[in-house]
Structure 1
Amino acid sequence: MIIAWSAMPLWREIVMASNQDDYGLLVEQCDGAMQDHFRAKRTMELDSSISGSADVASAEIGLIVCQDYDIYQKRLMQWGLRESELAQMRLKAVEANASDLEDVVDTHEIRF
């Protein structure tokens, strides 16, 4: 029992390391899709033309990648990762693609 308990942190580190690239890509893609959807909705609120509603519909289709992200995340949880470890992986993904602090802030900032 003690051996199994002490091996869990090592197991989680292995799961995190072996899935960081794939999970990080899905984090990035889903974040981009959500930002595109948000911008399309804001644009349509300002100009409710037909092209605006088509842009929102297109952005909603783009959100499908977020379902892939969610499924992957649930699979990682089944492998034993906790929310804090998933959050660490998401943060690593954001920081890996940010060239400076401004990129990190832009990723996390909510604009109205």
Structure 2
Amino acid sequence: MRVRPITDDELPDFIAISMREYAEQMRTMGGGPAEDLDRQTEHYFPGGRLSPGHAVLIAEDDEGHRLGRLWMAPRGESTDVAFVYEVQVEEHARGKGYGRQLMREAQQWSRDNG
């Protein structure tokens, strides 16, 4: 497995999928209206870009097939604490340790990036 940062070309699809999944979770839990989702999207992805300090890591096999993704960022005002917003492993790749390896990569990314 190799892990790399998300590319600019991949980011729009990631934003759409992540925010759609977030909206579904909020509806299930009795969350807020669609305007809140628009506000959240602009907060985390201003102008369709990642907020400063945020990272999305993409896991792929040796042939370039997607295994999963992880979205993380510093938590609050501190750069000493990172928060994982999302970790997802493709259904065909589950149960093989890829999620654990993505979390390890996130730990290393956090160390390398403050």
TM over 0.5: no
* Structure with greater helix percent: 1
Query: What is the TM-score with the length of structure 1 in the denominator?
Result: 0.31
Choose 1 or 2 for highest CA Rg: 1
* Structure with greater strand percent: 2
